[in-house]
Amino acid sequence: MSKKIDLPIYLDYASTTPVDSRVAKKMTDHLTLDGNFGNPASRSHKFGWKAEESVEEARSHIANLVNCDPREIVWTSGATEADNLAIKGIANFYKSKGTHIITSKIEHKAVLDPCRQLERDGFEITYLEPNDGGLITPQSVRDAIRDDTILISIMHVNNELGTINDLEGIGSLARKNGVFFHVDAAQSTGKVNIDLSSLPVDLMSFSAHKTYGPKGIGALFVRRKPRVRIEAQIHGGGHERGMRSGTLPTHQIVGMGEAFRLAKEEMDTDKERIHKLHNRFYDSVSKIEEIYVNGDFKNKVSNILNISFAYVEGESLIMALKDIAVSSGSACTSASLEPSYVLRALGRKDELASSSIRFSFGRFTTDEEVDYTLTLINHAVERLRELSPLWEMYLDGIDIDSVEWQTH
Amino acid sequence: MAYSKKVIDKFENTLNEPEKFNVGRFDPKEANIGTGMVGAPACGDVMKLQIKCESKGNTHIIKDVKFKTYGCGSAIASSSELVDMLVGKTLEEARQIKNVEIAQALELPPIKIHCSVLAEDSIQQAIDDFEKKQ
């Protein structure tokens, strides 16, 4: 029969992943006196040399996963810093060439907020609308490119929807127009094949903790050929060829290296297993009346599934699913009381946007967990709809758009 | 979101035993029924409150209540809390119920006070609707 299930069930892998135990082992080997604890920048003794060796080995694991030169990898504190370094780094270095930047409305805040900051500094930013499926089309990028455009920043996999953008299409346009192309790939490593030897991408941000590595470490790919220059944002010692100063955190770095090595080794088996879990989940959940998948179903990763349960409010659904750890597109859980900006950008009506839940599966998700979750969802949605005046209206054949609501 | 245990209990009890907690509907066309519906789907909450009244002397008392709420956990808990306060009250007494009472009873966090305001609005509207019919 079914195995015992530990509650709550973690289905929020897109938010962060647990560190793989093999990664944790590697990290603890780089901390204590009997381990490899040295400062990789120490040139005068063996402790430093050994630490440097570990750092460089880790660097080559990152490079291997995405098929680039290890010298193109710059360590950062995470994808947020990598995004900041790429965007502000390009903007500051090339501002004499132009001050226009193209990004999209569904980027992560780690891209949007640096862009806002640049706006305050006099740059002009175009925020592209996604199509209905949550994709940024090369056509929309083409229409936005101007003579003074210096940078395009578009994410690879969207964190809320799981949709995969066409990097080849967007990148070729960038190349043709002499514009740099930055990609936030925090959600795609280990999920989508990335080949930087052929992709027309100039800068790419990575995160360790979305790929079974530790939090607090990431990297930025900065292309050498054709060469991309960026202005450093953190100064103090000239580490990482001057692009990012600060003592390298060896244990974090080897953790990320090991996580990415495993990602390369296990990507195919992980993908296949998670795809099966996804289908098991989707085949069942799609039998519930009035549910909508957010994001282009044919162009997305299997580990993320974003669903709107119409006539049920997202936060109440999450409360009713207290044994399942998921995240809501509804920001009623946050201070803003607004539905997700990503779902709104898709043109979803507010009530559908605020009824959305992101389920994300991972390396340690089991069939039993998926089945148990499905039982809970069916129960919770049924109960909340019984409570919902909007569901009652739907069953009575009343179009809720035709009602004059008193907005407050 | 740090909800009080009271909000969580109220929400879960209402969800698990809807009949006991007055979830449901009356026929709004009946003369002794008053219906109030406040909020908007776009704002994330809609409350529908119905009161069944009976005349007593020169006033009316609330004999029974039914409600349905679309909204966050505290919106559902607020409606349910309000319903507990209504049965047996005269319409005049029911009109006196203020959102603060609901907010205090549930220890609502400041950001969720609007849920209790909505509950207060729903009873006012339900009474208005009932009185119009008389």
Q: Give the chain A residue nearest B66 (alpha carbons).
A: A387
d(CA A285, CA A52): 50
Confirm if A164 and A192 have CB atoms less than 8 A apart. Answer: yes
Count how many Cα atoms sit within 13 Å of the Cα of residue A102 in the half-sphere of its side chain. Answer: 29
Which member of A24, A234, A267, A332 is catalytic?
A332
Helix/strand/coil (H/E/C) assignment for every residue in chain B: CCCCHHHHHHHHHHHHCCCCCCECCCCCCCCCEEEEEEEEHHHCEEEEEEEEEEEECCEEEEEEEEEEEECCHHHHHHHHHHHHHHCCCEHHHHHCCCHHHHHHHHCCCHHHHHHHHHHHHHHHHHHHHHHHHC
Q: State percent of chain B over pLDDT 90.
A: 86
Asked whether the beta carbons of residue B70 and residue A388 sit closer than 8 angstroms, the reply is yes
Asked whether the beta carbons of residue A311 and residue B70 sit closer than 8 angstroms, the reply is yes
Give the pLDDT score at A331.
Answer: 43
Give the pLDDT score at B122.
Answer: 96
Nearest CB among B18, B39, B117 relative to A387 is that of B18
Nearest CB among A380, A387, A407 relative to B68 is that of A387
Asked whether the beta carbons of residue A408 and residue B37 sit closer than 8 angstroms, the reply is no
Nearest CB among B42, B46, B118 relative to A350 is that of B42
Q: Six-digit token pair at A90?
A: 């390009």
The answer for residues whose C-beta is within 8 angstroms of residue A180's C-beta and 6 or more apart is A90, A94, A150, A151, A152, A174, A202, A203, A228
List of chain A residues whose C-beta atoms are within 8 Å of the C-beta of residue B45: 313
Give pLDDT < 50 ranges for chain B.
none
List of chain B residues whose C-beta atoms are within 8 Å of the C-beta of residue A400: 41
A-B interface: how many C-beta pairs under 8 angstroms? 92
Q: What is the CB neighbour count within 10 angstroms for residue A50?
A: 18
**pLDDT one digit per residue (tens) for chain A, 408 residues:** 456 789 999 999 999 999 999 999 999 999 999 999 999 999 999 999 999 999 999 999 999 999 999 999 999 999 999 999 999 999 999 999 999 999 999 999 999 999 999 999 999 999 999 999 999 999 999 999 999 999 999 999 999 999 999 999 999 999 999 999 999 999 999 999 999 999 999 999 999 999 999 999 999 999 999 999 999 999 999 999 999 999 999 999 999 999 999 999 999 999 999 999 999 999 999 999 999 999 999 999 999 999 999 999 988 999 999 999 998 754 444 444 566 788 888 887 766 766 889 999 999 999 999 999 999 999 999 999 999 999 999 999 998 888 888 765
Give the pLDDT score at A351.
Answer: 67
Confirm if B68 and B23 have CB atoms less than 8 A apart. Answer: yes
Give the pLDDT score at A333.
Answer: 43
Select from A131, A158, A132, A128 the least CA-distant residue to A142.
A128
**B43: annotated active-site residue:** yes
List of chain A residues whose C-beta atoms are within 8 Å of the C-beta of residue B69: 387-389
ipTM: 0.95
Give the pLDDT confidence of A262-304 residue by residue, as tens digits. 999 999 999 999 999 999 999 999 999 999 999 999 999 999 9
Asked whether the beta carbons of residue A313 and residue B72 sit closer than 8 angstroms, the reply is yes
The answer for residues whose C-beta is within 8 angstroms of residue A402's C-beta and 6 or more apart is none
Nearest CB among B11, B39, B73 relative to A408 is that of B39
List of chain A residues whose C-beta atoms are within 8 Å of the C-beta of residue B80: none
Q: Tokens 């900041």 identify what position?
A: A84
Give the pLDDT score at B57.
Answer: 87
Taking the Cβ of residue B14 and every Cβ of chain A, the question of whether any pair is shorter than 8 Å is answered with: yes
